[in-house]
Structure 1
């Protein structure tokens, strides 16, 4: 456990240092072009990281009881003591991560947290650690609980998830090009640029963590195109410099929609349907936006 804390500290220092180096480089490049670098975006990401570190000190996580229940009712006890078992854990964790990430885009209750990660209007390494403060409270651990139920110790599942997220750090860049054959198997900066883009053609794509194979298998892979430059941020961009607004604006809008929904079923619909869904049929889901775009092209 002590070694794990040391590794976590080292990873945090590395991530912060690398993102700051990139920020200073991009700021210098922006000045040369007569532009202003959006330092407030880095500030919002740093505030998010500090807030999550503080949240970790509070016993508010739903992961603990969910994992405890799954472990108490496990069907086996799996020892991770070989390369094969490590590989199987990696594939299993990646599969669970894919569905967690997909649900975070397609179920508004989870999107209210995940939207914070997609709020930057510029894709930089600092984006990688803007993850949202309320993730511990939304029960996303349920997506990884099947691994615990199968018999993988909770700490092993969480360690695998941490490594998955650490891998994704370098994906949040605009200056790394496509990587040839690597694109067919692994998640890359190019694939992840598409994931963060708000272009209609790029919405709800490339959910993988380390691998891209599940996106290819389940039909959610979209390739970055030269004729369609990525436009980063949300469909309706956020421009706030206030970290509190940045963290909770989507929860506030969700609450308002539920309050004016008219009845309980509609209110539940706002919780479980995709972002942009509306009980009156006038919403802006990904499917609706694509139909509108198709009509405008005709």
Structure 2
């Protein structure tokens, strides 16, 4: 349900992104980079794809606890159930979000949302694919109190959708609103890596939680916010974006000789290291003046990546609309094809030669689908016109790839 509502809301998202882009250009603020936007949006789509396969955790565990352990029978027809449910959800989100910055296990998932060194509405759609692995635990109090599953799904969606508009630099301070609700000014602080702003303003809808629990700080004009993370990703690879912290923590857990540290490192704050590893590695300092990650890419190559992304974004919409009717294997195959597109585009934007060959392989495979199959991943019957359209797409893409990403000498 949530994925479908996100799909239907997407035209609004992209309309607002276009408006923000135009306003920023008129103000001579160059806040958008196509490579960064493609990367953020790719991560958002992959997150939605992963969410399809993790619903048994994000919703299933809630439903099981509600069915077997609910203390009260709350009615979804009561307005107060919805209002109190939203308030309680936002309160629990605050603690999930706060712990997401204070424990490696949760930060490994949440870091994806913070990796962009830009801050615009595409950043709002930059989401993790692994957040459902442990995030569901924080919302079980709602199930225990008896909030129906339908109520939980809708209030979770409301909390999520609210947070879209706060990811902008085009809206300044809003007076009294900033003191009660999470606003663009409040949330810009949350994405800052400045010492002053680090690990502040965790609220989803209400900033009151931060004021109550000592994690609030106001945005200060004298200290412009610098966005990103203290360990910059410096890559357009969406798979690595989701795995980088897991890999780093797992490596430290493997290398430390202390068995207790091998386990507790996952629950320690980001950057924490066991004593034996601290003695072996030099302390690293964060360079506030570092240049943004923006590897140069010729315009024809950038346009190729943008067109491929735009086309496959539509295909991703088709996947999310039809996946519920698919068996597991076709669903996994379709998801794998989509994720490979975003993975390869990231490598092409980094101009790594191996990704040119991977793109050739993907397009060749796509060309074979209408030849050897009568359906598109078991979701759509392929008549002659559709087969010709897919073949034409693959052939034109192969020609453009050969023309614009010529083999390196």
Q: Is the 8 A contact 2:82 2:151 kept in 1?
A: no
Name which of 73, 89, 104 aligns with 1:77.
Answer: 73
Offset at 1:53? 2.6
SS at match of 2:46: helix
For structure 1, the 5+ residue unaligned runs are 284-288, 290-298
Q: After TM superposition, give the deviation of residue 13 of structure 1 in Å.
A: 2.3
CA offset at residue 132 of structure 1? Answer: 1.0
Q: Which residue of 2 aligns with 1:125?
A: 121
Asked whether the 8 Å contact 2:32–2:118 carries over to 1, the reply is no
Structure with the bigger RCO (C-alpha within 8 Å, sep 6+) is 1
Shift of 1:10: 2.3
2:100 to 94, 101, 104: 104
Distance 1:21 1:172 in 2: 13
Distance 1:181 1:37, change over 3 A: closer
Q: Aligned partners of 1:118 and 1:247: how far apart in 2?
A: 11
Paired position in structure 2 for 1:205? 200
Q: CA deviation at 1:182?
A: 0.6
Superimposed CA distance per residue, residues 66-124 of structure 1 (whole angstroms, 9 cap, x where no aligned partner):
21342111111111323332221121111111111111111110100100000010111
The aligned residue for residue 160 of structure 1 is 155
2:139 corresponds in structure 1 to: 144
State the distance in 2 between where 1:126 and 1:14 align: 12
Match runs of 1:31-110 below 5 Å: 37-58=32-53, 61-71=56-66, 72-110=68-106
Instruction: Tell me if 1:185 matches 2:180.
Output: yes
Q: Normalization by structure 1: what TM-score?
A: 0.86
Which deviations, in whole Å up to 9, do the C-alpha atoms of 1:249-288 show, x marking residues without a partner?
A: 11111111111122331022210011011112959xxxxx
Q: 1:61 to 1:17 in 2, by over 3 A?
A: farther
Q: Which stretch of structure 1 is more off in the superposition, 202-211 or 257-266?
A: 257-266
Match in the other structure for 1:22: 20
Query: Which residue among 246, 258, 266 is the counterpart of 1:251?
Result: 246
CA distance in 1: counterparts of 2:239 and 2:77, whole angstroms: 44
Determine which of 7, 10, 13 is the counterpart of 1:9.
7
Change beyond 3 A, Cα 1:23–1:243:
farther
The offset of 1:21, in angstroms, is 4.0
- Aligned 8 A contact 1:70 1:146 in 2: no
Larger Rg: 2
Q: Normalising by structure 2, what TM-score? A: 0.63
Structure 2 residues without counterparts, runs of 5 or longer: 280-284, 286-409
Structure 1 residues 36, 104: closer, same or farther in 2, change over 3 A?
A: closer
Please name the residue that 2:171 is paired with: 176
